[in-house]
Amino acid sequence: MSLEIVPFQKKYTEAFYNLNVEWLETFFYVEDFDKEVLSQPDKYIINPGGHIFFAVEDNLVLGTVALMKAGDNSFELTKMAVLPNQRGKRIGQQLMQHCIDFGKTQGFEKLFLYSNTKLENAIYIYRKYGFIEIPVEENSPYKRSNIKMELYLS
């Protein structure tokens, strides 16, 4: 079976939560803000105009990513996570490319993201896709973030 990237469906809410919590617990810790957003993705991401995508193969969710609306044409690329036994198979890169292509077709001006420099592979991939580093604002929503990057789509 081939990998498909599909938009948010209610049936994937639990997978969205579990994938992200596992990833956060592996590399950092789960903040209250995370639990709130992850447990109600329709309320915090979809309803305000955002998007969530899933990498699915044989009805199994292998990975996920979200685009949270931040402004008229600005979206935060966030909540990207891949099953531990599926990492290294370029699923994250396929999700990233899907978000970039989707953003371009939707007329988004830019994507931005928060990360941490200890995630060297992730930072490398963001740069490979054209993201450039910009200053992290003092009131950043994530305590664990020490790098912010953006990509202009238009």
pLDDT in tens, 75-104: 999 999 999 999 999 999 999 999 999 999
Element (H, E) at 28: none
pTM above the 0.75 mark?
yes
The tally of domains found in the chain comes to 1
pLDDT in tens, 122-147: 899 899 999 999 999 988 877 889 99
Domain that holds residue 110: 4-152
Q: How far apart are CA 153 and CA 10, in angstroms?
A: 29
Task: Name the DSSP class of 11.
Answer: G
> What CATH number does residue 44 fall under?
3.40.630.30
